[in-house]
Every structure is written in structure tokens, then in C-alpha cells.
């Protein structure tokens, strides 16, 4: 017989189960958090589980309580996020746990929502329920980092993603890809991909985790991408495809326009009415954003404020060199996901990761912290943060 598990090992094992359940809600909960719950009776039997989806309305705790029924009395709840103590679309989960006779709550983290933040734990303690918190907190925080940013500041978590060569190039000289496409035989694989298929599949996972994706109109003109979530996983609402396009140059024959179903948003700084009407007839939404002084491009800070008003909690930027620099210069980037292929493109004509003026001094450079490395065959990616999504 193996050694008996310590209480901490038991708690962490069940919290892993709760986190896995919470992950089932990715793409289905925004603008609310991903939450998973596991109820375990005094004999260590799992008697109820649940995870939250926005359309399902009921919180994970309530789903688990309903599944467990009378077996909830004396049970321990394992959950990745503090139970709520306020009225929203549903009543307080803390009240439901108290009424069900739950004995202990083991939670990974405090809810960052100012309406909750410790109040759920306080209500449960007042009712005599034991609280254990802080286990697997890092994993829980990462799962709901976009919710944490949005619920406190009402703007989305912004991730800057790109694929590049080891020498920091995101494309060969302008015009080369178009020439390659014209010369490519039917069925021949594109010569424009930088990273491998494995890395590109992971990009679909990133898209699935985000509410919106943004590119500049230059990317549409050069590459004609679809910008869709092709992860195969369900979403509550379509991935919002955003094009930053100062003067509405977006081609009507582009794939994003031809496939628009109220899920394409063009943000411009100048809206010519005839052109605006043509786009709207194709199901494209057009919204004007104040221009950034000096270059006429839509202000990036204004863009994230606009998206926050639309309850967009997370934005993935897959822009070209100027969009990347604009996002960095505006200080809107929270994290980066930079994919690298073991290739060196070289040449002054090749397109760099970020163009524009750049930071003038090393002390001014964007500093990436809390770095994680990911491997995709021969490719790798750097994931890191420019700011803590939980910091005020």
C-alpha cells in the first residue's frame, strides 16, 4: 500500500480537478470568470461537480450542489475562485453553500471583483465554514487574468502575439509574398509561413482564449487572412475580428469582409460616409476612434477603452510592424506571446517585429517579466508579462 496523502496533497489534487473543470468554460464565460467546483463528502467521495458557462447562468458551486443534493451536508468544496457574496444574474453562492451545510471551502484565490474580494470568504467564516485558500493560486490567476484586468479597470487584457525568425523578422521584403503566391502551383504549400504547423495550431488556442483579435489594414491587404478561431472548441460569442484602418482602405473583396456576420469591426480615424456604407452592407461594423496626434492612426488607448465598453475582456494583437510598435508605444500591452522559428532571414528590407521610432534608450525598453518558454518541435515561444494583470 502506498503512503496516505497529506491534507495539502489531497487539497491540491482536488483543486487540479476543479481547475480542469474551470478550463472547460474557456470561450463560454466572458465577460465573467472561468470557475470549476468539486464537492467531496467526509468519506472522500466526489458527490458533485460543475463548471460555469455564461449561457448556463448557474454558477459552478450551484451546479455541484444540485448534483450532490443531500450529500452536500458536511462536504468540502474545492474551487478555483472565491464564492461570490453579491447579487448579480444569480443570488450569492456563499448563501447557497451555507444553506446546503457545506463544512469546508478550499479555494485557490480571492475573487478580484471589487464587489466580492474577500466578502465571500468572510460570510462563509461567519457561518462557521472553514476556509483554506492560496493553493495552486498561480494556476488559478493565469486562468482568469483577463477577467481580473477587465473587472477592475473595464479594459481588456492585451496580448501581443507574433511569429518571427531568430533575427526578429516577421516577413520578407514587401511584395515577395505576393510574388510567391502568384508563382505557387495549385495545391503547393505556402512559402510564407515562418513557424511550423504545431506552432500555428497553438495560435488557434490563443485565439480561442481571447474575445477579440486585432490587425492593421496593411496585414489584410498583404496577407488576406480570415482571422477566425479554428480551434474547434465552442464559443459563447464569435471571435470579434478587428481591423485598425485609419481611412477605410479595407478591400471589399477581402476574406474578412466576405465572411463578415456582425463579427468584423473596423476602427478608423476618418469615416467617409459612402465607403462606410459599403462596408456596413457587407455586415461590417465601422466605428470612429480619435486619431493619435502626428500620424492619423486610431489611438490605441482609445481602442482598448472602446472595447471595454463592449464587454471585451481580452484582445489578441496579431499586427504588422507598425501596429506592434503602436501598441507598445501606447503602453497598452499586458503580455506577449512571441513565436520563434530556427530561421534567419536577414537583410535590411525584411520586415522587423516592430517598426516606428522605437524606444530611444535601453532604460526605456519594454521589459518582459515572469517569462515562460514553450516548445513546438523545432520552434519555441516566449510568453511573458509587461505588467501584472492583477496590479492596480
Q: Which residue has the higher pLDDT, 292 or 337?
A: 337
Statement: residue 332 has pLDDT above 60: yes
Which entry of 3, 9, 24, 61 is annotated as an active-site residue? Answer: 61
pLDDT for the residue numbered 185: 46
Statement: residue 134 has pLDDT above 50: yes
**Cβ-based neighbour number of residue 289 at 10 Å:** 20
pLDDT for the residue numbered 336: 98
- Whole-angstrom distance, CA of residue 186 vs CA of residue 166: 30
Statement: residue 179 has pLDDT above 90: no
pLDDT for the residue numbered 9: 83
Q: Which of 53, 77, 82 is nearest to 67 (CA)?
A: 77
- Whole-angstrom distance, CA of residue 259 vs CA of residue 256: 5
pLDDT for the residue numbered 80: 98
Q: Which residue has the higher pLDDT, 188 or 242?
A: 242
Lowest mean pLDDT among 8-12, 40-44, 253-257, 305-309: 8-12
- Whole-angstrom distance, CA of residue 246 vs CA of residue 264: 15
Banded model confidence at residue 218, pLDDT cuts 50, 70, 90: very high
Statement: residue 384 has pLDDT above 90: yes
> The pTM is what?
0.92
pLDDT for the residue numbered 348: 87
pLDDT for the residue numbered 270: 84
Statement: residue 75 has pLDDT above 90: yes
- Whole-angstrom distance, CA of residue 161 vs CA of residue 319: 8
Statement: residue 88 has pLDDT above 90: no
Whether 61 is catalytic: yes
Q: Which of 309, 318, 164 is nearest to 241 (CA)?
A: 318
In the block, cell 513546438 appears at: 376
Statement: residue 188 has pLDDT above 70: no
pLDDT for the residue numbered 89: 84
Mean predicted confidence (pLDDT) in 166-194: 67
- Whole-angstrom distance, CA of residue 342 vs CA of residue 325: 24
pLDDT for the residue numbered 192: 72
pLDDT for the residue numbered 3: 59
pLDDT for the residue numbered 4: 60
Q: Which residue has the higher pLDDT, 2 or 244?
A: 244
Long-range contact set of residues 120-123: C-beta below 8 Å, sequence gap at least 24 = 120/82, 120/83, 120/84, 120/85, 120/92, 120/93, 120/94, 121/82, 122/85, 123/85, 123/92, 123/94, 123/95, 123/98
Statement: residue 95 has pLDDT above 80: yes
Banded model confidence at residue 189, pLDDT cuts 50, 70, 90: very low
pLDDT for the residue numbered 178: 56
Lowest mean pLDDT among 22-31, 190-199, 335-344: 190-199
Model confidence pLDDT, tens digit, residues 285-330: 999 998 876 677 889 999 999 999 999 999 999 989 999 999 999 9
pLDDT for the residue numbered 180: 56
Statement: residue 1 has pLDDT above 90: no
pLDDT for the residue numbered 191: 55
Statement: residue 382 has pLDDT above 50: yes
Mean predicted confidence (pLDDT) in 243-271: 94
Average pLDDT, the chain: 92
Q: Which residue has the higher pLDDT, 99 or 182?
A: 99
Amino acid at each position: 500500500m502506498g503512503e496516505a496523502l497529506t491534507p495539502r496533497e489531497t487539497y491540491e489534487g482536488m483543486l487540479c480537478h476543479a481547475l480542469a473543470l474551470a478550463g472547460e468554460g474557456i470561450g463560454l464565460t466572458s465577460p465573467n470568470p472561468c470557475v470549476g467546483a468539486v464537492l467531496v463528502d467526509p468519506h472522500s467521495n466526489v458527490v458533485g461537480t460543475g463548471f460555469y458557462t455564461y449561457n448556463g447562468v448557474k454558477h459552478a458551486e450551484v451546479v455541484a450542489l444540485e448534483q450532490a443534493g443531500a450529500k452536500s451536508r458536511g462536504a468540502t468544496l474545492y474551487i478555483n475562485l472565491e464564492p461570490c457574496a453579491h447579487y448579480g444574474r444569480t443570488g450569492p453562492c456563499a448563501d447557497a453553500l451555507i444553506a446546503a451545510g457545506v463544512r469546508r471551502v478550499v479555494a485557490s484565490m480571492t475573487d478580484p471583483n471589487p464587489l466580492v474580494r474577500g466578502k465571500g470568504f468572510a460570510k462563509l467564516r461567519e457561518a462557521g465554514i472553514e476556509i483554506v485558500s492560496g493553493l495552486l493560486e498561480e494556476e488559478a490567476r493565469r486562468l482568469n487574468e483577463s477577467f481580473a484586468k477587465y473587472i477592475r479597470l473595464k479594459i481588456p487584457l492585451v496580448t501581443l502575439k507574433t511569429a518571427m525568425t531568430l533575427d526578429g523578422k516577421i516577413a520578407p521584403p514587401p511584395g515577395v509574398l505576393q510574388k510567391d503566391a502568384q508563382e505557387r502551383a495549385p495545391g503547393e504549400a505556402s512559402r510564407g509561413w515562418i513557424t511550423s504547423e504545431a506552432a500555428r495550431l497553438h495560435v488557434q488556442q490563443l485565439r480561442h482564449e481571447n474575445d477579440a483579435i486585432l490587425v492593421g489594414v496593411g496585414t489584410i491587404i498583404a496577407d488576406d487572412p480570415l482571422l477566425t478561431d479554428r480551434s474547434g472548441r465552442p464559443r459563447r460569442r464569435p471571435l470579434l475580428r478587428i481591423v485598425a484602418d485609419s481611412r477605410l482602405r479595407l478591400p471589399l473583396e477581402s476574406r474578412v469582409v466576405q465572411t463578415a456576420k456582425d463579427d468584423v469591426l473596423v476602427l478608423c480615424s476618418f469615416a467617409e460616409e459612402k465607403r462606410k456604407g459599403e462596408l456596413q452592407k457587407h455586415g461590417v461594423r465601422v466605428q470612429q476612434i480619435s486619431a493619435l496626434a502626428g500620424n492619423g492612426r486610431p489611438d490605441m488607448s482609445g481602442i482598448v477603452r472602446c472595447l471595454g465598453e463592449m464587454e471585451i475582456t481580452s484582445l489578441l494583437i496579431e499586427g504588422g510592424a507598425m501596429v506592434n510598435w503602436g501598441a507598445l508605444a501606447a503602453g497598452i500591452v499586458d503580455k506577449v506571446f512571441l513565436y520563434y522559428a530556427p530561421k534567419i532571414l536577414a537583410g535590411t528590407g525584411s520586415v522587423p517585429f516592430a517598426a516606428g521610432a522605437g524606444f530611444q534608450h535601453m532604460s526605456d525598453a519594454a521589459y518582459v517579466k515572469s517569462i515562460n518558454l514553450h516548445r513546438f518541435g523545432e520552434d519555441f515561444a516566449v510568453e511573458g508579462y509587461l505588467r501584472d494583470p492583477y496590479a492596480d
